[in-house]
Amino acid sequence: MKLWQNLAAAAVLGLAATAPAAETGVHAFTLNLNDGSPKKLSDYRGKALLVVNTASKCGYTKQYAPMEQLYQKYKDRGFEVLAFPANNFMGQEPGTNEEIRAFCTATYKTTFPLFAKISVKGDDIHPFYKYLTTLPGFDGDISWNFNKFLVDPNGKVVARFGTKVDPMAEEVTKKIEETLPKKP
């Protein structure tokens, strides 16, 4: 009996030693894609990310075009744009996930990942956005649609850009260039 207990304990310890370390930063989160399927943000480990809260009926909705342009420019160098539709500002994202996807692909020909609609502020803020908006140096409520967080390949937020900053602005592209994964 003692032998079996020791073998069982050794097996558990062996498994624990080979289990991956707990995810940190944005990689610790799993959110639903626009089609409802879960997506681990750890799947993006090794890539730079631009996380953006979006809306289809906002004065800044036209930023979908430069977001796609940015994605096309850098995707082959380890970069992703992650769009998170939210209806937190004057009802400017009233559509269903299906309607949002149809709008984005038909109007802006977007090909970057589109996530399910979430809340980015208020009492029902999604834990992911609660995390983003409480990070020292990047903290503060989401002020409007199209706030942007730049995340390094290790899952650490390295920059935050406001609504009015165009995704293709030099300050954004320069920081992306600095953040892209380094070639071996």
Active-site annotation, residues: 58
90 CB-near residues (< 8 Å, 6+ apart): none
Angle between helices 97-108 and 64-74 (to 10 degrees): 70
Helix-strand-coil split of the chain, %, nearest 5: 40, 20, 45
- Residue 65 token pair: 């075009």
| Amino acid present at 97 | N
Q: What is the CA radius of gyration of the chain?
A: 19
Number of other CB atoms surrounding residue 177 within 10 Å: 12
Tell me the β-bridge partners of 148: 52, 161
